[in-house]
Amino acid sequence: MKTLIFDIWGDFGHFKKFYTTSSPLTFSVPPPTAIYGILGAILGLSKNDYL
């Protein structure tokens, strides 16, 4: 089985919890939908290709 491992980092990252309205509560890790989007962008897929 082949595995791809990489690090994603940035100075700022905010993955807002859906139930917050004005407070800046955030997840400690990106949610799955954000990870799918990041991987799709890295692979050069269009929005409809990786849904």
Residue 46 lies in a domain: yes
- Report the chain's terminal Cα–Cα distance, integer Å: 24
Residue 38: predicted pLDDT: 86
* DSSP annotation of 31: -
Residue 35 lies in a domain: yes
Query: What average pLDDT does range 39-44 have in this prediction?
Result: 87
**In degrees rounded to 5, what are phi and psi of residue 8?**
-115, 130
Q: How far is CA 46 from the centre of its chain?
A: 16
| Number of domains, the chain | 1
Residue 51 has pLDDT above 80, yes or no: no
- Report if pTM > 0.75: no
Per-residue confidence band for 26, with pLDDT thresholds at 50, 70 and 90: confident
Task: Tell me the residue range of the domain where 42 lies.
Answer: 18-51
Q: How far is CA 23 from the centre of its chain?
A: 20
| C-alpha–C-alpha distance, residues 30 and 12, integer Å | 12
